[in-house]
């Protein structure tokens, strides 16, 4: 297929059936969002936010775009801005992977780091200050309606179309901004009411479980951090506040089950997907898949389960995901070499 430009290739990502590690008599699928051109699900929201701002006149030609990010949204925005000719500046905690920072800079973005000990809130506040001082366009992924709307218009419709004949019993997703979960769940709740909507979050940062009754602040900013949040290794998931985009799902009971997951389980299942299925996904993808496997172990025979894989493993080479992967030959490899 020939595309008119790179941005036209965003979306329509494949759904892949798990062949080797799924429980018997269960149909387990993953939606591989790393097939987007920027390598993650956040390409969708990046394009949606920029094009909405252009249409409504909030983003002027050559105006700088600023955003707080853990990485994937920043990469997506840097890619979109490079295509459209906007300068961009990203703010992010200094605990995020080096690969993400370099990818954003490779795409022409400026990256400003904030202390990891201050959570995503510090990066969020810095982006707001930069926007106010310089009159830049602030993308506001955690609050922007365009985030969830693009998943309602694209991701959810892709899922409905792909499972039109099979039917879908469970849909599993984590949350970062909440855009994927809110946008897809509002459609599945309406058009596929038998589908169980499963949300997941880090076991040591259970904001949804502990703050389900909390409402957004009167000034429209995200809900504040809570004692239940702790730093976790699942980059891209669960900042230290409840994003307004996710609040919709909480307010409207858009999920049926919340199953927390440990970072260790996420790393384990990311490795299992790679070595047994050839699927290269990051820690968040492994974590979502860990929950899908828990569902699969208890689901009725013949159940159809879909799990979201947000991004690719290649942007975690310096993270815990690759901590036990050797860069030099190990003993087994040396033994093979010496046997020649």
| Residues carrying an active site annotation | 42, 284
258: helix, coil or strand? strand
38: helix, coil or strand? coil
Q: Torsions phi, psi of 115, nearest 5?
A: -65, 130
Task: Provide the CA 161 distance to its chain's centre, in angstroms.
Answer: 22
Contact status, residue 93 vs residue 123, Cβ threshold 8 Å = yes
β-pairing, 15-17 vs 27-32, is antiparallel
Name the helix (H) or strand (E) containing 91: strand 88-93
Other residues' Cβ atoms within 10 Å of the Cβ of residue 330: 9
Contact status, residue 309 vs residue 30, Cβ threshold 8 Å = yes
Structure tokens at 259: 């199953």
């Amino acid at each position: 297929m020939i595309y008119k430009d790179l941005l036209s290739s965003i979306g329509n990502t494949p759904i892949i059936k798990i062949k080797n590690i799924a429980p018997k008599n269960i149909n387990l699928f993953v939606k591989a969002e790393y097939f987007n051109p920027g390598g993650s699900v956040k390409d969708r929201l990046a394009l949606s936010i920029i094009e909405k701002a252009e249409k409504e006149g909030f983003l002027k030609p050559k105006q700088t775009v600023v955003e707080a990010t853990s990485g994937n949204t920043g990469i997506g925005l840097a890619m979109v801005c490079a295509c459209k000719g906007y300068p961009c500046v990203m703010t992010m905690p200094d605990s995020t992977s080096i690969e993400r920072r370099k990818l954003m800079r490779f795409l022409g973005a400026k990256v400003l780091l904030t202390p990891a000990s201050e959570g995503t809130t510090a990066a969020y506040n810095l982006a707001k200050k930069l926007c106010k001082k310089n009159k830049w366009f602030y993308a506001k992924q955690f609050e922007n309606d365009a985030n969830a709307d693009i998943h309602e218009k694209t991701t959810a419709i892709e899922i409905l179309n792909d499972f039109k004949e099979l039917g879908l019993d469970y849909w599993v997703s984590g949350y970062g901004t909440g855009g994927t979960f809110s946008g897809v769940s509002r459609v599945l709740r309406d058009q596929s009411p038998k589908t169980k909507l499963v949300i997941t979050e880090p076991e040591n940062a259970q904001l949804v479980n502990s703050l389900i009754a909390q409402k957004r602040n009167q000034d429209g900013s995200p809900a504040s951090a809570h004692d239940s949040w702790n730093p976790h290794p699942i980059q891209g998931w669960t900042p230290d506040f409840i994003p307004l985009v996710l609040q919709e799902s909480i307010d409207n009971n858009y999920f049926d089950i919340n199953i927390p997951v440990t970072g260790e389980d996420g790393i384990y299942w990311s490795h299992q997907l790679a070595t047994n299925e050839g699927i290269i996904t990051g820690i968040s993808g492994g974590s979502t898949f860990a929950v899908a496997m828990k569902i699969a172990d208890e689901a009725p025979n013949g159940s159809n389960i879909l799990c979201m894989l947000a991004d690719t493993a290649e942007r975690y080479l310096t993270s815990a995901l690759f901590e036990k992967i050797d860069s030099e030959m190990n003993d087994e490899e040396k033994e093979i070499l010496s046997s020649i």
